Structure 1
């Protein structure tokens, strides 16, 4: 019997292993699915838990209009006002705040505000940081030294204090939703730009001395094409790891701004940090629900993104990929190995033909 017959019947072609480019299920090569399949043990549990928390956060933010029972600034219904500091009930599952707002609605709408701030802050940080890092690392010179000095100075400054100062300057007393979102996002952006700048610049300095870049210069390729087609594409591989970690930091910074009173006005949008600050006085009076749920939302959202970021950071280590691959290969070898006779048995017991 030939190998093709053993593998899949007469005339069947041998299956190509997936890691050698086989035509296996295409969904296994998707970014998130590939990382989950590479992870093992506790690492896989952390990654899956982080993905679940992030999915709940995003779904809640996107579907806030349909999930929240009331508006973020709604104080009454046709039947009357909600009432201040009402305990959890059938009408208000999470109770009401000291200002008379529904806690569940504020928590759900606060997820939408946090997601908008994270998206704007991270995208703006990537665009500015990657562009400055690419130009600074590729051309060098006095501009590179000045940018590195400024980035180090900003990076050494306390991030929350810098965000507070910039929030005061940028907001200008605006209380609209998008004005507050942009003010908070841009305040966080200035804190994140030095991180992307330093990472991209270090990669560009390393890659621009590679042989393929020198070959492109010899062929007369313009600098703009070399920077975009050769250098940039090989310098941003670690950015997804930084994005996930910065997203959790953005949520905490936004909550800190709101807690200190420099965030978004409560009538413009719901914000977890502001609600938590207003609930501090309630805790001493035994009113726990106004502080528990906004604080729990901050912790779960930041924890989910942190778990994803730390798991992806671990999976970027080649030693972990080797361990997972070795375990898979060891299982395949054990399933196809030939059993040998125990040491105490004779060769006659192993070969029945000798008895006859």
Structure 2
């Protein structure tokens, strides 16, 4: 029993250390670790706020009155309204908290749909090639050439059909953002598939009689999706900005259907010139912090994934490697060697 527990203990720790975020956190040092930790903390607060919105929001996102009567419009921060009220008479703090939930729902739906569609189409296109590959490349290059916000606006108009309820508005925003993201995943997965299908182990599987479906999903897909966590974090921040842009331009979700930061900013533009700062400050600050958290995580993962952008000596030592590089006129250059465990 003791031997078994001793054997399984390090094995469990080794498996935990190989988890995507845990591995990068252990590998990072210095400024990179600080950026990653700050990004994870901000992103964690954003996610927890979105999940716990019904519990921590003092009022509903469309609530205009309580037992004491109507809230009133443009009331300054204080009393029962810690961040004041908007021009429409909504509680600013409640709208900010509920807006986090709307943003998270849109991000999850948009990224999941775009990953599924982009990965599948990129896998099929890169593996089989031929005329199908050429058609997909031309179509998605044309979509990718459009400005992302303009494409999202067009798709929102086509999809929403004038509906402003929660399901219709959220789905319209999510599918609009999905259309923008699909070409990105397609291009990345297709390029990786074209490279991986020429590897020796893929050729060996084909010689042994493995079907195309088995090779695609068992061998190619597993190795082609290693960069998806990085793209996911960067696209999540872009999704928040696209959703806020749609709301600010009037193509978002109505306040009676859900809280949305971009819409609140749109309604607060006229307040700024009148000295009413709280209706625009807090929704804008929520957008900045949410995007900052996702961006810090994404940029940190990008630095750690690229050996040219990370401190080779510090990172190598922290991960069990000895990296010594000496560049001396007339001397030699020592590469990295792995220390036997």
TM-score normalised by the chain length of structure 1? 0.85
Q: 2: distance between equivalents of 1:94 and 1:131?
A: 45
The residue number in structure 2 matching 1:270 is 259
1:165 aligns with 2:154: yes
Residues 56-71 of structure 1: matches in 2 within 5 Å? 56-71=45-60
Report the more deviating stretch, 313-322 or 124-133.
313-322
- The count of aligned residue pairs is 315
Cα-Cα RMSD: 2.1
Matched, 1:324 2:314: yes
Aligned: 1:133 with 2:108: no
- Range moving further from structure 2, 107-116 or 31-40: 31-40
- Are the structure 2 counterparts of residues 326 and 197 from structure 1 closer, same or farther at C-alpha, using a change threshold of 3 Å? closer
Which of 222, 225, 228 is residue 233 of structure 1 equivalent to? Answer: 222
Aligned partners of 1:240, 1:196: CA distance in 2, in Å? 11
Which residue of structure 2 lines up, in the alignment, with residue 82 of structure 1? 71
Partner SS, residue 318 of structure 1: coil
Q: Residue in 1 aligned with 2:303?
A: 314
State which drifts further: 321-330 or 42-51.
Answer: 321-330
Q: Which runs of 5+ in 2 are unaligned?
A: 1-5, 323-341
1:184 alignment counterpart: 173
Which residue in 2 is equivalent to 1:352?
Answer: none
CA change 1:292–1:321 in 2 (3 A) is same
Q: Does the C-alpha gap of structure 1 residues 270 and 328 become closer, same or farther in structure 2, counting only changes over 3 Å? A: closer
Give the 3 Å change call, closer, same or farther, for CA 148–94 of structure 1 in structure 2: same
Shift in alpha-carbon separation, 1:105–1:225, aligned structure 2, 3 A: same
Q: Residues of 2 paired with 1:178 and 1:331: CA distance?
A: 51
Contact 1:38–1:321 (8 Å) recurs in 2:
no
Partner of 1:142: 131
Q: Does structure 2 retain, via aligned residues, the 8 Å contact 1:27–1:33? A: yes
How far apart in 1 are the matches of 2:321 and 2:145? 49
Partner of 1:237: helix, strand, or coil?
coil
The match for 2:240 is 251
TM-score for the superposition, normalised by structure 2: 0.88
- Establish whether residue 117 from structure 1 lines up as the match of residue 106 from structure 2: yes
Q: Does 2:294 match 1:305?
A: yes
User: Residues of 2 paired with 1:219 and 1:329: CA distance?
Assistant: 37
- Runs of 5+ consecutive residues of structure 1 not aligned to the other structure: 1-14, 333-356
- Rg larger in structure: 1
CA distance in 2, matches of 1:106, 1:130: 35
How far has the Cα of 1:175 moved from its partner? 1.5
